[in-house]
């Protein structure tokens, strides 16, 4: 039920009335073309493409696009959106994306921001179907509405959102530079260091999985309990805002709350994010772990928490985790506890690890302070997004 009257000149439309849903299959071609899978679009940026011949391309590599098209991933609980520009107009995109071609009444960047709004993402998730991989189909898409201001208003909204988005990107770039510095410290300290080879099982005391249930995406009340989403760990920094509030009449079968110093590990996610992990910054008694997140306790006589966390996030170990995880390419992958425990690690002396941990904590302290600024900018951006699409239901 709508609570607010729309301003003059604004209208509420079904998305299918303001865009064309494109299904332009790939015809035979000579040589190679670049292919973008859903797994290779992260944070709305292309992280990788692969070159494919027509005869041996994946079956999902079957959609052509044009400049100005806006694509978004169909899978539930994903935010992967991209505007097709001139430099990527010849790519093939996965059938795991909807390809939308805006009509003359909607600005493509306004559409892009709407597809990234919580209003759209929440609506999308409620309409997703499927037991193995829940995703939005055309029938569900046709139920989604958008509030459409006049084009000039759309352009003004886009200008404001772009300014906040650019400020957020600059803050993220500063954090990336600190990550690169930490990486260079790690290489310098351990590249030529004598190490012993152990498996994960040798260096952990316990790995505990949480318990999952549904919930509401809203602010948690003082006497309420919420279950974390896997997005709480995907950035490598614990994000305590990523949760769903559990209804009070639900019996919580396993209360595994977050404590300061806990190592959290995502056993299930897309190919690029399975194995994402972080250390919890403080106690959160009202936040519990879902079954897709593990709490790992290491044996600190053998390995420090900080060194373990950094080690399992190195490129080689993340690739090994991805290789051992099972599931359909481009969808949710899962690594079993047994396979994770079998991964080999090169362990240097505990004294050298402690020196690295000291440096790690100093850098993370700087990042935490910068993170406050990033969070403030992110909150401003989210507030502007919420205001921009406040009339949407």
**Residues 275-324: tens digit of each pLDDT:** 999 999 899 999 999 999 999 999 999 999 999 999 999 999 999 999 99
Residue 354, in any domain of the structure: no
Q: What is the pLDDT of residues 180-208, one digit of tens each?
A: 888 898 988 888 787 899 999 999 999 99
What total of structural domains would you count in the chain? 2
What is the C-alpha separation between 150 and 85, in angstroms, rounded? 24
* DSSP annotation string for 54-83: TTTS-TTEEEE--TT-EEEE-BTT---EEE
User: Are both 215 and 306 inside the same structural domain?
Assistant: yes
Predicted TM-score (pTM) of this structure: 0.62
138 and 250 inside one domain: no
Residues 139 and 205 in one domain: no
Question: Is residue 84 in some structural domain?
Answer: yes
pLDDT tens per residue across span 87-140 = 999 999 999 999 999 999 999 999 999 999 888 999 999 999 987 789 999 999
Domain assignment present for residue 318? The answer is yes
pLDDT band at 388, cuts 50/70/90?
A: low
Q: Decide if 275 is inside a domain.
A: yes
Residue 238 located in a structural domain: yes
| Alpha carbon distances (Å) from 196 to 135, 207, 286, 349 | 44, 22, 40, 8
User: Which structural domain range is residue 234 located in?
Assistant: 195-347
**184 within domain boundaries:** no
* Same domain, residue pair 128 and 204: no
Does residue 341 share a domain with residue 203?
yes
Same domain? For 131 and 67 the reply is yes
The answer to whether residue 367 sits within a structural domain is no
Q: Where a domain ends, among 347, 368, 385?
A: 347
Residue 369, domain member (yes or no): no
127 shares a domain with 15: yes
CATH number at residue 142: 3.90.220.20
């Amino acid at each position: 039920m709508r609570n607010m009257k729309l301003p003059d000149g604004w209208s509420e439309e079904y998305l299918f009335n303001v865009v064309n849903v494109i299904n332009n299959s790939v015809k035979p071609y000579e040589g190679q073309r670049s292919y973008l899978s859903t797994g290779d679009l992260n944070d709305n940026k292309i992280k990788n493409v692969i070159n494919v011949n027509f005869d041996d391309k994946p079956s999902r590599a079957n959609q052509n696009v044009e400049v100005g098209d806006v694509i978004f991933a169909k899978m539930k609980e994903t935010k992967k959106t991209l505007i097709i520009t001139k430099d990527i107009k010849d790519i093939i995109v996965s059938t795991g994306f909807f390809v939308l071609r805006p009509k003359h009444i909607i600005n493509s960047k306004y559409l892009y921001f709407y597809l990234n709004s919580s209003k759209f993402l929440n609506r999308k998730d409620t309409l997703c179907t499927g037991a193995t991989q829940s995703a939005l189909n055309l029938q569900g898409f046709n139920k989604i509405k958008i509030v459409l201001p006049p084009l000039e208003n759309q352009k003004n909204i886009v200008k404001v959102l772009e300014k906040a988005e650019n400020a957020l990107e600059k803050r993220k770039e500063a954090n990336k530079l600190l990550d690169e510095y930490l990486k260079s410290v790690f290489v310098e300290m351990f590249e030529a260091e004598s190490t012993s080879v152990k498996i994960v099982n040798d260096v952990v005391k316990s790995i505990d999985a949480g318990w999952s249930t549904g919930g509401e995406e809203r602010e948690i009340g003082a006497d309420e309990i919420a279950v974390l989403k896997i997005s709480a760990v995907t950035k490598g920094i614990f994000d305590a805002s990523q949760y769903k509030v559990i209804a009070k009449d639900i019996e919580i079968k396993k209360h595994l709350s977050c404590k300061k110093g806990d190592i959290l590990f995502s056993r299930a996610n897309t190919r690029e994010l399975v194995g994402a992990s972080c250390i919890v910054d403080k106690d959160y008694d009202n936040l519990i772990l879902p079954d897709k997140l593990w709490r790992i306790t290491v044996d600190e006589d053998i390995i420090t928490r900080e060194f373990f966390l950094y080690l399992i996030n190195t490129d080689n170990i993340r690739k090994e985790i991805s290789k051992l995880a099972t599931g359909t390419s481009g969808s949710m992958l899962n690594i079993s506890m047994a396979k994770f425990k079998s991964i080999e690690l090169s362990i240097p002396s505990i004294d050298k690890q402690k020196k690295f941990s000291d440096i790690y904590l100093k850098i993370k302290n700087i990042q935490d302070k910068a993170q406050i600024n990033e969070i403030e900018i992110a909150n401003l951006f989210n507030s502007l997004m919420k205001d921009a699409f406040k009339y949407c239901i």
